[in-house]
Amino acid sequence: MLSRAAPPLLLLLFGAPLAHAQEPLTLAECYALARKRSETVAIQQELIRETQGRFVQALSTALPSLSFNSSDKRQDGAGTSAFTLRDVPERKFVLSQPLFSGFREFAAIAGSRAEQRQRTLEKQRAEHLLLGDVADAFYLLREQRAVLGVLELTRSTLLERLEEMDERVRLGRSRSSEIASLEAELRRVEAQIIQVRGREATARQLLEFLTGLEGVEGLDEPEELPPAPEEEASYVARAKQRPDVLASFEAWEVARKEVTVARADLWPDVDVDANYYVERAGAAADVAWDATLTVDVPLFEGGKAVGNIRSARARAEQARLAHQRAQRSAALEAGEAHTQFTAALARVAMLRQALEAAQTDYRLQLDDYRLALVNVLDVLETLQTLQQARQDLTQAAHEAKRLHWQLRIASGEGLE
């Protein structure tokens, strides 16, 4: 009987998809659906658009402004001279160009570009974290379904043993108490099946929440385990170039540019304004244009500029420390994920050997039972050991797959 059950057992251990009406979903397909649905990713995209708007605003401060001004002035007067006209119309084009403001505009433009890069990297990191959530839900659902298959297989085995036991009791080769023991174990397994079905429903609801689907059924995934990881140092090195780490560097760059903007308050402002008149009245009717050069030198503002500079420097130092912490945290996460994944693969290898030994033990005990060398309690004990070995291997295999994706995400890798 065990040899006939072996092929489906292997499929259950590695989470082969069950036959369903709809097409089985891969992890990549689930992630693509979750990415479209995620509010977090959408918010990050809007933040990118917001920074693009600020960049245009910063750029506009360094460019000239051009406008057309029209005014009609009425004043008291007899109109006997150019200075006492009752109606004074004026139409003109106004051009204003900042020449120097302590490099404030250039620092603001550079800061806006750095902020755009920061928001883009933060969006990329949000997508990586979303992939981690989807992978956890994906493999958790497959694990519960595989464990459910193991329990169903154990239940079928117990039912077969009960059928044999009825015949043995009728022939006087076994006691009625042995039937009671088998029935007790059967009810225990059925209780576990109910519990696992509840967990399977919870995992399915989580995946449906992430993907927006209803009634997730088949999940398609290769049976083999992920390959062994590279050296830990390579993952740690990649983690230091993770999107969130690079985003923290860009945030530091933004803070440094804010220091330059604050320092600009100590420099003079130089602007030029020019007017081209289309229509004028009075004594200035023959003046077609004029230009004004303005130099504004700050002398004393009660320490306002100095205070702004100190605050900006403090924020820049905070950003530098945050970047340093992000680097160290990323390296720690990558190292921990590497250790856990390596240990998970080793555990799977040991549990495979344990399952093989449990299968051999159960087969030998079953042969001895049919020869009346052992009683049903001995067979029941080995069956419990076999069931636990199957369940442990199933859970460990799916845990290794989850940890594989956690390692990739900790080192800054996505689905590509």
Please state the domain extents for the chain. 2-65+102-268+304-410
| pLDDT the model gives residue 350 | 96
Which tokens hold the place of 152? 């169903």
Q: Residue ranges of the alpha helices (H) in 264-375?
A: 304-370
| pLDDT the model gives residue 321 | 96
| pLDDT the model gives residue 9 | 40
DSSP string, 230-246: --HHHHHHHHTT-HHHH
d(CA 369, CA 378): 8
Is the pLDDT at 56 greater than 60, yes or no? yes
Is the pLDDT at 313 greater than 90, yes or no? yes
Question: Does domain 2-65+102-268+304-410 correspond to CATH entry 1.20.1600.10?
Answer: yes
pLDDT in tens, 340-399: 999 999 999 999 999 999 999 988 988 887 777 777 778 788 888 888 999 999 999 999
pLDDT in tens, 85-96: 667 788 888 888
- CB-based contact 218:25 (threshold 8 Å): yes
pTM recorded for the entire structure? 0.78
Computed from CA positions of residues 277, 279, 282, 285, in that sequence, does the dihedral angle turn out positive or negative?
positive
What does the angle CA 111 – CA 114 – CA 116 come to, to the nearest 5 degrees? 110
| pLDDT the model gives residue 219 | 82
Give the number of other Cβ atoms within 10 Å of residue 391's Cβ. Answer: 20
| pLDDT the model gives residue 66 | 85
Residues 6+ apart with CB under 8 A from 111: 58, 253, 254, 257, 258, 261
Reported as a pLDDT band with limits 50, 70 and 90, residue 15 is: very low
| pLDDT the model gives residue 80 | 58
